[in-house]
Chain A
Amino acid sequence: MLRLIPRVMAKLQATPVADADLEAAFFARDRRRTLALLMARHGARIYRYAMAMTHMRDVAEDVRQQVFVEAYRDLGSVADPASLAMWIFGIARHRCLDAVSALARWNQRHVPELPDGPEQRGHEPDRDLDRRRLADTLASCLARLAPAARDAVVLRYQQELSYDEAAAVAGDLPGTLQRRVARALPVLRRCVEATLPPGEPQ
């Protein structure tokens, strides 16, 4: 599983921030500079992940903020700068699962809050609009999955990790994630079918 880490990180390190800068800041024990680079590199991705997991903009924003505050606090516990991406993504995953549990508890006690609806946008070409609407609908439907299934789907298809890579992040076996995804996708399909009006693209 350890040999997967560089590949996972290569995918996680999508934002063009030079590794050398990050390593230099890390080894100089410049926590502020290190955190600034981490935010530039991973901030958007973590927000998207949190958004897919919680489907609530405010919660996703809070998760992102909490992740980087925790990262700043615990930066000293990281020995190898090469593992920073995996480490911070692990924090994000735990905070998202915490948020999902908290939302579930809240919804058990109170009237469930409707997840954020599709965002209002200006004019878009029809094809893009269809894909956006499908993505928005999917986001709502994801929120109805069990947290473990949602996590598997998001890691595999929203974060676009392979099963081996997603298993490395989640600490599960690839086969377990495959079964979770295989059970979750029909649920998503039915949810989309029930949500989008007939004739809408699916």
Chain B
Amino acid sequence: MTCQRYWQHGILIVERGEPDPHLETCLTCRREHELRGDLIHALPLIGKASSGDPTWEARVWRQIAGLEPRRRHWRWTIGGFATTFLAIVVCWAIGHHPPSDDPPSRYELLPGDLVMRSRSPGADCRMRSLGDRVRISVKPRTEVRVYRADRLVLRCPACPACPPTEGCSASAHGLVAEAQLAPSAEYRLVVITSAVAAPVGQLDRDLEAVVAAGGDYQITELSVH
């Protein structure tokens, strides 16, 4: 017979380490208390018979060794990726930013008495005569416009499919525009290095449109008298 009092109430008293006077008077509860003692004395034996795999320490070391090379491997991988990325960035930068001494356009003045004044750095000023011609050679995908007294007189569009225009011709290196510097006036040669909408024919508005479209241009002024 099991003494329910012991397992329901007496056990907590025992676990608290407090004396239980009931045990001294109740033989059944004392017997249950001895059964508890048997259980408790057997509990430390759990797992004692076996210490597990005798090679467990070697397995721990193997697992640790497996982790460490992976870290080194990742270092190399990250280093490789970084190097490749840098190489790509450098190549891209070189490819997209040609040296500044490679001019996007070249001007050529045929003989005559004219005065040329250029805003572009490094452009020279030479005296030429009225009636001479100016030849502008530019790279592909570059548009050339010639304005006389702020009015458009020549446009050589960048698109290869555009209809041929008098004064514009294709060359091995891009486009050649040629305009006669007559009559006497202020001429402006505009080279646009990005695709923009068609001009309206007035210098200020056309340049504003280029800037508004995020384009870039180079302008050269010629005073012809």
Contact = CB atoms under 8 A, between A and B. Distances in A.
A105 interface: no
7 contacts: A36-B57, A47-B56, A64-B52, A68-B60, A134-B45, A135-B45, A185-B39
Given A142-B46, A158-B47, 12 more contacts: A35-B60, A36-B57, A51-B52, A57-B52, A69-B64, A69-B67, A131-B42, A132-B49, A134-B45, A160-B44, A186-B11, A188-B39
Interface size class of B (residues with CB under 8 A): 20 to 34
A182 interface: yes
Interface string B177-197: 000000000000000000000
Interface residues of A, number: 48
Interface of A: 35-36, 39, 43-44, 47-52, 57, 60-61, 64-65, 68-69, 72-73, 119, 121, 131-132, 134-136, 138-139, 142, 153-154, 157-158, 160, 163, 175, 178-179, 181-182, 185-186, 188-189, 192, 201-202
A51 B38 CA distance: 20
B47 A185 contact: no
A55 to B, nearest CB: 8
Contacts of B16: 175, 178
A65 B67 CA distance: 14
Contact of A178 (B15, B36, B57): B15
B44 A157 contact: yes
Contacts of A132: 45, 49
The CB with the most chain B CB atoms within 10 A, among A136, A179, A186, A192, is that of A186
